[in-house]
Structure 1
Amino acid sequence: MNDISRPLEELHPNERLKHNSEQLRGTLRESLADPVTGAVTDDDTQLTKFHGIYQQDDRDLRSERRKQKLEPFYQFMVRLRLPGGVCTTKQWLALDELARQYANGTLRLTTRQTFQFHGVLKRNLKAHIQGINATLLDTMAACGDVNRNVIATANPWRSPVHRQVYDFAHRISQHLRPRSRAYFEIFLDEKPVARSEPEEPNYGRTYLPRKFKIALAVPPDNDIDVFAHDLGFIAITEQDELLGFNISVGGGMGMSHGEPKTFPRLADVIGFCRVEQVLDVAEQVMCVQRDFGDRKDRGHARFKYTIEDRGLDWFRKELERRLGYALEAPRAFRFETTGDPYGWQKGTDGTWHFTLSVENGRVADHPDYPLMSGLREIAKVHKGDYALTTNQNLIIAGVSEAQKSNIQSLLEQYGMVGTRRQSALRRHAMACVALPTCGLAMAESERYLPSLIDKLDVIMHEAGLADDPIVVRMTGCPNGCARPYLAEIGFVGKALGKYNVYLGASFSGERMNRLFRENIGETEIIDSLAPLIRDYAQQRQEGERFGDFVIRVGAVKPMLAGRDFQQPTA
């Protein structure tokens, strides 16, 4: 018997909640209208995720508010559904205004190629969502047990193939979007439909066991870390023509400290599909997970565990049975990097694109760096788009030859180029939000990584490596939002001021890292990494990346399978 066919009382409480939610409505309307508290009910807190919203509180204020006998300072994080990560400059300006009107005055570019607003109060939440909707964007299915935001190799302006892949991200997102009208009724004041609303065609009454993530890559760029996702499509081209995609399944980054049954896992390539088969494959892969994923243990409910437990042969047979045809053999491909090409790049159509490094994705004004204001001014005159990358950076895309000098002048005026030169290490680093708002955070991440990079930059400069990229990622907990297990140097929060340090992932995102030091603070981090960085500068082979070097010299062994990730290192 599959879990989905078991009696609800045998399954996780979240399954009963989803089943009884009237297709994600719950009592959200009443919770949002309650003026007594800044929160929504516990059940509704789970349901808000399906609408792209997380309830949080400011953990910096918890203790003081508790002393004052006040409830936590509740607020909401709002995440957009933005398949392929592109917005118009008009939309950017509207989102900028909404951030200053209803949120904390900043925009956050995420590792899933979309925007997050932080600090939205409950009394402003509905108006905020309606403001997003007015831009022709939405937050539906940006969180929750559904297919999440579909990501793709950044910037459809780069070439016709990139445009095709971007279009597929949109088509997949739309095809797998929940059909419930709850979002429209609760937040956009649509007249409620009769409760005989048809059941979700791809989800049923209990949706998926956990979240599901899809990514599309255009080799040789693996900027989206395709193997970190439940389902990946790797573009196969011939003479600039898109033939189809290799299909990878079973990736995922999350785990729990000290629970060896949980682990990050890289996806496996199982076959090739033609372009006309993409939507069918995406739907049926997700529906296999819908029907066979673990609905009793949410810690074991991701697709990677379904693949790990049942095996690739079982999965391929089940998928092909549903498709009604066999997948073709995988085609050859090659990845070179997970990074972004910074500065000016020229597209195949003659337009220009400027990739701007945005530290940890936080678009804000600082006393010495008015980044948010500068991007606002560029958006007022730029006739192309803004494209987000999954490395938390921003591309000013589709700049004409005639307009390039004007954009360059604004970049210089607001300090985005010229004197403000970031090191290669900083440009290849990213962090999750963590404290003070993420309820799962065990340690700092976004607020701490810049200062740690300052110290590592000194070592890199002294070793003559100032211009050499090393992929560095940090998260405040082991859930892996910034994909730290695919970093050449990964930091994962264990406690306040303490991190597990992982080494040895590949620069191209095709090998995970391994635990190097456990539960250490900044002094020990610097003391343990400095000798390796110096040795790398002196002993590396031609073209050798840091992640490959630390394996060659025996600092860590290569991580060959996710199931071994939490095994003792000795």
Structure 2
Amino acid sequence: MSSDLIVEGKLSDNERLKRESNFLRGTIEADLSDRITGGFTADNFQLIRFHGMYQQDDRDIRAERTKQKLEPLHNVMLRARMPGGIIQPKQWLAIDKFATEHTMYGSIRLTTRQTFQFHGVLKPNIKLMHQTLNSIGIDSIATAGDVNRNVLCTSNPVESELHQEAYEWATKISEHLLPKTRAYAEIWLDGEKVEGGEEEPILGSNYLPRKFKTTVVIPPHNDIDVHANDLNFVAIADNGKLVGFNVLVGGGLAMTHGDKSTYPRRADDFGFVPLDKTLDVAAAVVTTQRDWGNRVNRKNAKTKYTLDRVGSDTFKQEVEKRAGINFEASRPYEFTSRGDRIGWVEGIDGKYHLTVFIENGRLLDYPEKALKTGVAKIAEIHKGDFRMTANQNLVIAGVAAKDKAKIEKLAREHGLIDDSHSSQRLNSMACVAFPTCPLAMAEAERYLPGLVDDVEQLLAKHAMNDEHIILRVTGCPNGCGRAMLAEAGLVGKGPGKYNLYLGGNQSGTRIPKLYLEGIGEQEILSELDGLIARWAKEREQDEAFGDFVIRAGIVAEVKVSVRDFHD
């Protein structure tokens, strides 16, 4: 292998950690029985991520606990593995029960990774959590850490046959790229211990250099934001039947404040492959990134940086060699939307599908709307399935015509249908941030609802009530809220301070550019007020906000991230 394809230097400590982990076991089992601390220590703090968990604490009470000479209130967040986001009503009732009885917050959080998260699980309940999930056919293997994470799939409740095929491929890809270690079963499910002989044919004994994200998307709906992901399979259909995929590689949104070697990046289109080569190509992309990715500097370890370092064509040729294929010319496709279609739609199979808007994905019973109870009550009578979306919403799918009225009645009674939601609110999104995320620099989930109120008022002020701006807020630059694909993206810089990025588009195929740095909430509103005023006055017919700010020269278009993003 050519040495210029490998980054030379001292490996990051995460590489030591993975190498010495005994295929992700570490000493997690011993740590689990240690009741002196509520957290995990040393390497295990990182290793539990490969098992789908992050150690967190309640940052709202951290200072008070320090005063009392107590350690932070350690707990874990678990992210389930749900390829394509499909969950059955019986499974839903089980996770609802666990969230109510065994988490600090009692909520279920729908995430931008098209799955659910438990927040606030204390150490004595962690093993019970995994065993509860296992009993209903769910796990959290490889939903975090340096592996291929939960595979997303367009929710698409209308074209049922095509969606079913795409969903099945999302599941196959997920299974194919999973870690083969038995560590998860041994530690959490009391599985039989394996002594030696294990191997990871795709991920390797040191796993990947960094996290890796994969999607299956059905045009024209880019509802999973392909350019936020390392590997994307764009479904190509012929007469409603799936015939293959265009393969897009090297997208990603995370960056580091002040480090110009980091940037968000669109994925490159490698070309078309027939269905029977899908898994070969998936493995080839992953193993190429495994072998060529930067294991010295984790900030430059994602696939997007590997492509820019070795060259996209060189990477593509290696994938062809490993998969034993030649990519065909990419088949035509177009993305025209990416939000969820809120409300009822009828599928080609005659079944009905209700998509309900869940602000920030947080299912909890509030004084005015018992959202969590409402979904549970629907689950008790629903004969279809639920589909979690990558936009933090929930699809009640496969409803027979005779059942529509009672499903809608329950949804309305519990605030799951609210006709007053504006287009702006439906197209706004935030990550979790405070108080649970240890990486958060600023508020996001708790800031967004009030921010949307203010933006709604600005749109009304300038007679743009029927318009919306794709608005996203993240508490840090790691990309969970996908602000780097928004028309207006806010990225946390410090308490109450954000960087404002402008210029993404409505189809999710353009990276926005920094407009103002480190501004407070009032300045954000003042700037948006002026920008919306100009948009209202100067826009061309039906011109979206992100397109306007580029045409008007307010920000330059980011065409090639490595060249344009920091320019």
In the other structure, the counterpart of 1:61 is 61
CA contact (8 A) 2:6 2:293 kept: no
Quote the offset at 1:536 in angstroms: 2.0
Aligned residues of 1:2 and 1:292 also touching (Cα < 8 A): no
Give 1:56's aligned amino acid. Q
CA–CA separation in structure 2 for the residues paired with 1:440 and 1:202: 30
Q: 1:501 is matched with which residue?
A: 500
Q: Distance in 2 between matches of 1:101 and 1:481?
A: 28
1:354 match: secondary structure: strand
Which residue number corresponds to residue 161 of structure 1?
A: 162
Q: Is residue 17 of structure 2 the alignment partner of residue 20 of structure 1?
A: no
**1:297-355 deviations in Å (ceiling 9; x for gaps):** 11111010000111111112111111222110101111101111111011110100111
2:216 and 2:233 in contact (8 A); partners too: yes
Matched, 1:397 2:400: no
Indicate whether 1:264 and 2:264 are aligned.
Answer: yes
Q: Tell whether 2:112 aligns with 1:111.
A: yes
Residue type of the alignment partner of 1:324: G
In structure 2, what residue type is equivalent to 1:176? Answer: L
Provide the C-alpha distance between the structure 1 equivalents of 2:505 and 2:513, rounded to a whole number of angstroms. Answer: 11
Provide the residue aligned with 1:81 in structure 2: 81
Q: C-alpha deviations, 1:477-506, integer Å up to 9, x for none?
A: 011111101001100000100000111101
Q: Distance in 1 between matches of 2:97 and 2:367?
A: 20
User: 2:462 — aligned with what?
Assistant: 463
CA distance in 2, matches of 1:161, 1:203: 30
In structure 1, runs of 5+ residues without a counterpart are: none
Which stretch shifts more, 470-479 or 542-551?
542-551
**Between the two proteins, what is the percent identity of the paired residues?**
49
Matched residue, 1:352? 352
Check conservation: 1:155, 1:397, Cα contact below 8 A. Answer: no
- Matched residue, 2:140: 139
Tell me the secondary structure at the aligned position of residue 365 of structure 1: coil
Give the 3 Å change call, closer, same or farther, for CA 197–156 of structure 1 in structure 2.
farther
1:145-188 per-residue CA deviation (whole Å, 9 max, x = no partner) reads 10000001014664211111111000000011111111001001
Match of 2:364 in 1: 364
Mapped partners of 1:537, 1:166: distance in 2:
41
Checking the alignment, whether the CA contact within 8 Å between 1:3 and 1:294 is kept in structure 2 is no
Which residue is 1:148 aligned to? 149
The amino acid that maps onto 2:182 is R
Contact 1:484 1:492 in 2 (8 A): yes
Q: Which residue of structure 2 aligns with residue 71 of structure 1?
A: 71
Give the TM-score of the pair, scaled to structure 2: 0.97
1:2 Cα deviation after fit: 7.4
Contact in 1 for aligned 2:203/2:286 (Cα 8 Å): no
* 1:366 alignment partner, SS class: coil
Farther off after superposition, 534-543 or 67-76? 534-543
Aligned-pair CA distance for 1:555: 1.4
Distance (whole Å) between structure 1 residues aligned to residue 3 and residue 373 of structure 2: 51
Number of aligned positions between the proteins: 566
The question of whether the paired residues in 2 share the 8 Å contact of 1:492 and 1:499 is answered with yes
Of 241-250 and 558-567, deviating more is 558-567
- 1:438 equivalent in structure 2: 437
With the length of structure 1 as denominator, give the TM-score of the two structures.
0.97
Aligned to 2:224: 224
Provide the residue aligned with 2:529 in structure 1. Answer: 530
| Deviation for aligned residue 1:39 | 0.7
- Counterpart for residue 94 of structure 1: 94
* Letter paired with 2:329: A
Counterpart of 1:450 in structure 2 is 449
Residue type at the aligned position of 2:330: P
Alignment of 1:516 onto 2:506: no
Alpha-carbon distance in 1 for matches of 2:250, 2:101:
40
Task: Tell me if structure 2 keeps the 8 A contact 1:434–1:475.
Answer: yes
Deviating beyond 6 angstroms after TM superposition, the runs of 4 or more aligned structure 1 residues are 1-9
SS in structure 1 of the partner of residue 23 of structure 2:
coil
Contact 1:155 1:395 in 2 (8 A): no
Q: Is the contact between residue 157 and residue 163 of structure 1 (CA under 8 Å) also seen in structure 2?
A: no
Shift of 1:466: 2.5
Q: Aligned equivalents of 1:336 and 1:68: distance in 2?
A: 55
| Alignment partners' CA distance in 2, 1:117 and 1:318 | 39
1:320–1:327 CA contact under 8 A, matched in 2: yes
Compared with structure 1, are the counterparts of its residues 446 and 429 closer, same or farther at alpha carbon in structure 2 (3 Å cutoff)?
A: same
State the one-letter code of the partner of 1:32: L
Equivalent in the alignment of 1:181: 182
- Counterpart of 2:205? 205
RMSD, matched Cα? 1.7
Q: Secondary structure at the match of 1:538?
A: helix
**Partner Cα distance (2:177, 2:45) in 1:** 23
Contact 1:344–1:354 (CA under 8 A) maintained in structure 2: yes
Could you tell me how far apart the structure 1 residues matched to 2:482 and 2:493 are?
A: 16
Q: Which amino acid aligns with 2:532?
A: I
* CA distance in structure 1 between the partners assigned to 2:2 and 2:68 by the alignment: 50
Q: What residue identity is the alignment partner of 1:553?
A: A
Distance 1:9 1:461 in 2: 56
Change (3 A) 1:5 1:457: closer
Q: Do the aligned residues in 1 keep the contact of 2:7 with 2:294 (CA within 8 Å)?
A: no
Counterpart of 1:145 in structure 2: which amino acid?
D
* Shift, 1:4, TM fit: 13
What is the one-letter code of the residue matched to 2:181? S
Secondary structure of 1:556's counterpart equals: coil
- The aligned amino acid for 1:172 is I
C-alpha separation in 1, matches of 2:7 and 2:338:
44
Give the corresponding residue for 1:327.
327
Partner of 1:289: 289
- Matched with 1:239 is 239
Change (3 A) 1:566 1:512: closer
- Which residue is 1:122 aligned to? 123
Give the aligned partner of residue 279 of structure 2. Answer: 279
Q: CA deviation at 1:535?
A: 2.5
CA distance in 1, matches of 2:325, 2:64: 62
CA distance change for structure 1 residues 175 and 167 in 2, over 3 Å: closer, same or farther?
Answer: same
CA shift at 1:507, angstroms?
0.4
